[in-house]
Amino acid sequence: MKRATKRTRPRLLASAATALTGLTLLGGPLAPPATAATTATAAPPATAGTNATNAEATGRGCRLPAPQEPGTSADHTLASGGLARGYRLHLPEDYASRRGWPVVLAFHGRGNTGAGTEEFSKLSTLPAVVVYPEGVVGTGDGDRQAWQGAPYAAPGVDDVAFTADLLDALTAALCVDERRVYATGKSNGAGFAALLACRMADRVAAIAPVAGAYYPGTGEGCAPSRPVPVIAFHGTGDVTIPYGGDADRGLPAISGWVAAWAGRNGCAADPFTRAVKPDIAVSRWVGCERGARVEHVAVADGGHTWPGADSYSGGGVTTQTIEAHEELWRFVRGHRLPAAASASATASAR
C-alpha cells in the first residue's frame, strides 16, 4: 500500500445560497411534484456533512477501525479473478464507523488512473466514501488501462466480477450503506458504469456517466433487474466520442443512448428540455417506474472533458458553468436500492 495522502475537503454546497444555486441549476422546476410511485426508492433530501446523509449503518465493517486516516486517499490492492487489482480509496474527513456512508465508484478513462481521475473530478470533496478502481492494461497502442465492454479491453478480464469483489471488500472493512452505492466514470469508465447498471442493478443504486464511450459491449442484451436512475453528461463538441455517434466504432448518438435508458425505465417518451445556462441544456424524463429518473446534461461545444475540472481531463473545451461532481451528487443522493434488492445482494456475497 502506498502512503496515504491528505486532501483538504471543502464543504460541498457550503452555504444556503450555494445550495440554492446548485438545486436551481439542474434540479429546478422541470420535474413535476413527486407522487407515491416516484418516491418508492428515493431517499430523503440531505445536505453535505449531515447525519441525514449517513443514516443507515449496513456495512459489515461498522464499528471497525478505519483502514486509513479519515480525510486521506490511499492505494490498496485486492485479489480478484486471479489478478492483483488496485484501487484508490478516499475517506471523508468526518468518516466514522458508527453510521453508514454512501459509496461512489469512479472509473477512469482509457489510459488514465484512479489518482488522475480523483484530481480532475473533485469527487473526493463529496460526503461519501469514494473509490477509484484501476483497470487492466488492454489491447491496442500503448500500455493503457481499460474497462470491460470496450473493444480494446483486456481479453478475459471480468471487471464486473472485480467490482462485486471490491464492494464485498469495502462492506467488510468500512461502515457503508449498501443501498447507496453509485457509479460514475469518464469516457471508457463511463461506459463501464453503464455496463454495471445492466449487470449489477441489485448493487448499484444509480449511475452518472460523463463523456461516456458506449461501445456495443457495454449495452448488448442489457436487462437490468430493476429500473436504474441515470444522469449522463456529454459535450456536443466532443470529437473523441462524438455526440452524434460514430457508426464505424458502433457508438450511438448520445441523445438516443439516454432515450434508450428512459425507455428501459418506463419513462414518458418525450423529455422536458430547458436551457439552464448559455451552454447547458438539461433534458428530463418523467413518469419513470419506481422513481428511476433519467436526465441528460448537454454541454454546448463541450469537449471530451469533465465539466468543472480545474486540471486536464481530456481534449476540447471544459465548461466552468457547472461542476459535474456537485450535479451528479445532487442527482444520485436521492436514490437508494430497494431493501429487497440490497438484502439479496448482501446474502449472495456472504
Whether pLDDT at 34 is above 80 = no
**CA nearest neighbour of 27 among 333, 258, 255, 259:** 333
pLDDT at 37 over 50: no
For residue 227, pLDDT over 60 is answered with: yes
Where does the pLDDT of residue 5 fall: very low under 50, low under 70, confident under 90, or very high at 90 and above?
Answer: low
Per-residue pLDDT reduced to its tens digit, 288-309 = 999 999 999 999 999 999 999 9
Residue 142's pLDDT is what?
84
- Across the chain, mean pLDDT equals 87
pLDDT at 345: 58
- Assigned CATH class of 62-349: alpha beta
Global pTM?
Answer: 0.85
Tracing cell 474527513 back to the chain, one arrives at 93
* Domain extents in the chain: 62-349
CA dist list (Å): 88 to 209, 267, 342: 19, 36, 24
- Sorted by sequence, the CB contacts under 8 Å of residue 171 that are 6+ apart come out as 58, 59, 60, 61, 178, 346, 349
Instruction: Copy the grid coordinates of residue 246.
Output: 460514430
Residue 122 burial (C-beta neighbours within 10 Å; 0-12, 13-18, 19+): buried
- The more confidently predicted of residues 46 and 28 is 28
Query: Residue 38's pLDDT band (boundaries 50, 70, 90)?
Result: very low
Q: Which residues pair with 282 in a beta bridge?
A: 274, 297
Rounded to whole angstroms, the Cα distance separating 147 from 112 reads 11
Mean pLDDT of 17-44: 37
Burial (CB < 10 A; 0-12, 13-18, 19+), residue 93, is middle
Contact 169, 193 (CB under 8 A): no
Q: Which residue has the cell 448499484?
A: 204
Q: Is the pLDDT of residue 91 over 50?
A: yes
